[in-house]
Amino acid sequence: MAGAGKKYRKSAQRVDKLRRYTFEAAIQLCIDCAYAKFNESLDLAVKLGVDPRHADQMVRGTVALPNGVGKEVRVAVFAKGEKEKEAMDAGADYAGSDELLEKVQGGWLDFDKTIATPDMMGAVGKLGRVLGPRGLMPNAKLGTVTFDVARAVTEIKAGKIDFKVDKTGIVHAAVGKMEFGLEKLMENVASFMDTIQKLKPPAGKGTYYRSIAISSTMGPGVKVDPVNVKDILNP
């Protein structure tokens, strides 16, 4: 690759570009090829045979990774009264109503995920221009608009992630850290792929899994044979 660093080129030489690996072999290769000084993530890219321009072919959902994502997720909850207290008791980093809304409106975005009670969505909706482009708007379909804020906070803190197929038909997700090791990363990938499989839209035609690639944050991509998906799905 033109302009690639020496460490990247050395890692890339270990990957057979013509081969389609099993998930286990690909993940182990990503672990072996990771070279950054920081703890890299395992990134997964799955190209699906769907046309996301059609609502009945949209693939979007959440999955609770059994081993988490390997990083602290900062959660802000828009709630008031007892629900605000409930959120903080459950481990939310920030919770509140008018003051929190005003702070975010002013440009403060020191959080990774948001949750809102339904009665707060009228006010939270006004933050659409701030939260929307950053993927931070609470969404009922993703379980982040709910009165059960304690459960929502706990799930996100424990490793629940959300995903959505992009306009090119690809689902991207970071599913753990290199330090997890092969076994835990395999468990996370299996849970993620199992969820993707269950969300297969009936309207989709042809091959569902067009291509799959995984990599460490800084490392080269490793192609996985889509045929191997069935081997790691949860029974």
> What is the structure's pLDDT at 28?
96
Tell me: the pLDDT tens digits for 142-196?
899 999 999 999 999 988 988 999 999 999 999 999 999 999 999 999 999 999 9
Please state the CATH superfamily assignment of the domain spanning residues 17-69+160-232 in this structure: Ribosomal protein L1/L10, rRNA-binding domain (3.30.190.20)
Is domain 75-158 in CATH 3.40.50.300, yes or no?
no
> Taking the domains of the chain in order of start, what are their residue ranges?
17-69+160-232, 75-158
> What is the structure's pLDDT at 142?
87
Indicate the burial class of 225 (C-beta count within 10 angstroms; 0-12, 13-18, 19 or more): middle
Question: Contact 139/114 with Cβ under 8 angstroms?
Answer: no
Alpha carbon distance 206, 204 (integer Å): 7
Tell me: the pLDDT tens digits for 129-152?
999 999 899 999 889 999 999 999
Mean pLDDT of the chain: 92
Tell me: the pLDDT tens digits for 102-111?
999 999 999 9
Q: Is the pTM of this model over 0.85?
A: no
Residue type, 46: V
